[in-house]
Chain A
Amino acid sequence: MTDMALIGWSRAQFALTACYHWVFVPLTLGLAVIMAVMETVYVARGDEFWKRTARFWQKIFGINFAVGIATGIILEFEFGTNWSNYSWFVGDIFGAPLAIEGIFAFFMEATFVAVMFFGWNKVGRRFHLASTWLTGIGATVSAFWILVANGWMQHPVGMEFNPDTVRHEMTDFWAVVSNPVAVSKFFHSVLSGWMTGAVVVIGISCWYLLKKRDVRFARASIRVASAVGIAGTLAVMFTGDSSAVHVAKYQPMKLAAAEGLLDGGQKAPFSIVPGVEIPGMLSILATHDVNGHVPGINDLLDGYTAPDGTEVLSAEEKMARGRMALEAFRNYRETAESDPEAASEWRRVLEDNVGYFGYGYIEDRQELVPSVPMVYWPFRIMVGLGCFLLLLMILVLWFERKNRIERMRWLQWTSLLSIPLVYIAGQAGWIVAEVGRQPWAIQDLLPVNAAVSSLDKGAVMTTFFIFVAVFTLFLLIEIRIVTRAIRKGPEAAPEASDAAAQVE
């Protein structure tokens, strides 16, 4: 029996590190697009104002990049130390995308980030512009490989289990790469990064408007950021829709928990908040059909027959098959050398039930239900804030185009104060995705109680608190450096500097 406190602390540490990493990643992805658009305008028009604008946001990008760099490496440390069973069990399926990501990220970012920061007066405008775009593309492609790995954990495909090595072996690289869960997760996450970048740029620009300084710069930044942000948010909604369909298909318990849906059926309602429902809406979101069948938590535990006649096994039946798989695995290992004939038979039993392998670790079927409030409320926070921020960006762009943004202090304050909201929305999204798939480290194949290493929980607690201290320190440093950079503002125009020099 694995120590529940050890599992809890290991999960808490991983969650802390992942959440901290996700503070930096979305801003990198979003700012990369915004500053590249600004530089494109500079190259197209030759107006030095746009160069100064792009350079200022590059500076913010650089600070965020520097503080955020390597925070993802800690996750890889944790795989090897805290989740060693998992790391071995997934085999190269998980390692391959992460290795590609590491190599790709290193070479692209080391090359093009350097050209972007150091090359303004060293390389041609077009080459510099290409480097700026490639920096953003490199970060986006890196995110793709990470999300391929994450998508595989949510919906494992393209592999088979080898009981001799106790590892999963990749049989179809394309199936892993084109995993529908990974693809929709990639677009959903990356585009939410555009939204983050846009809200941060708009918020900071509104601070300049509140201070009545660098007005042209602020308004130009607002125009670009709100256009990128609105496009990104609409695309986030579209990809969220395809994500919901995939969750309904591959992780129905996550969807049922996110809706607090005990008993499902056709014309399933969507819960806005407890007690307020839209009839049939959940069926539309999950199946694109108002009559679509959406199973509830009880249906998934008790088993049910889908409208197309498919029999979905009860939790007990899956647990029985899981135990059969584990029993066959144990016997196969014991007989592999001494009795090849018996081993072959055990291997066949294992292969027949391997899809339920992880259920062999489930003692009580309630373990198969994630914490409903921990999934239900973050989902509503994510969607609610997403809608609010979309409305905010539309308003900001509208009033900017009408030349009224400078007078609307309430909108400037709202935009500034909305900066934390976009981060809360992003973190809430990850909570839905990751808490919602509990108890699974790998869906149906390995629960967290089998994935965790046999460690002393005190050691995990110690590193947890070290991370809290280190992460808080680095976050405070970033906020301080960014605040100083914002106060300093964009570079002054040459004529403005001359005028300032004359005054002095």
Chain B
Amino acid sequence: MTAGRSILALVMVLAVVAGCGAEARPQPPTSGARAALPLPENVQDPAVVPSAAPVPDCVPRASLRPSGTLPKAGRMPAGSTMAKIAARGRLIVGIDQNAYLFGYRDPATGELVGFEIDIAHAVAKAIFGDPDKIQFQAITTADRIPVIQKGSVDMVVRTMSMTCERWQQVSFSTEYLTSHQRLLVRRGSGIREFTDLAGRKVCATRGSTSIVTIAAQPSKPVPVATDSTLDCLVMLQQGQVDAVSTIDVLLAGLAAQDPSTEVVGKFSSDEPSGIGIAKTSPDLVRFVNGVLDTMRADGSWTKIYQRWLTPLGPAPAPPVPVYQN
């Protein structure tokens, strides 16, 4: 029976060989791992800078003169834009919910608060007699003009610089805040002026005048664009940009959130902020200018400035209104 036994042995060997399927896998190397830095959403690096179209000369601060005395709250003139807003029951205002001290969500209450939010409430109070008849719509810098033109908001109160170019597309109220473009840098970075930023990254929001100013600097910094100025601070903290450049009042709001940053540099531009309103509603522009005049005169402008903007220093005199005629 040797044949039978050797066959049996063969079968056994086959069975054992078939059982050996598992192979050892080499350990992957671990030394090459590199962290990837996260980025805020919608960052444009380098930013696309809008080409400067020829702009007619104008006085950027000059708005429409209020017509006579302000109508009483709750009694808007028939057929006016204000009457339509009153009929709707609420004023719709485009604001920033990420600008500390200007328009931001208070994490403790969930409410929107800030200097510009108070200005918007003052307009609502003038129309309805109730400052809370208001609906806020958070918008990005780049959205400001489109939402006014589409009519999805009645007005935009969002540190919108009054420029001749924008006057072509929308109307502005009189100036409610004066500011200048400057720089926010990390303390100890040694950066003081745009001349220190040659070839380095400087952040501002997409669609802002700040991006254009950055790109126009002779030292040729690289503009980086985000949806919100706050995202610029995130990038500065993460070391992805060397400076943030926008109006000094917003920069002060950023510096107040991170004491390891500071506002530096001379004024790079003059940036008057006005309330943006559709060109088709001159009556609303005149009405809002009347409200702003009242606020300048009765001290409420100074009161809300002191409430929110003391980190900028003592309250200055309110900006003097300029009118087209």
A and B part of one assembly: no
B-side interface residues toward A, CB under 8 Å?
none
A-side interface residues toward B, CB under 8 Å?
none
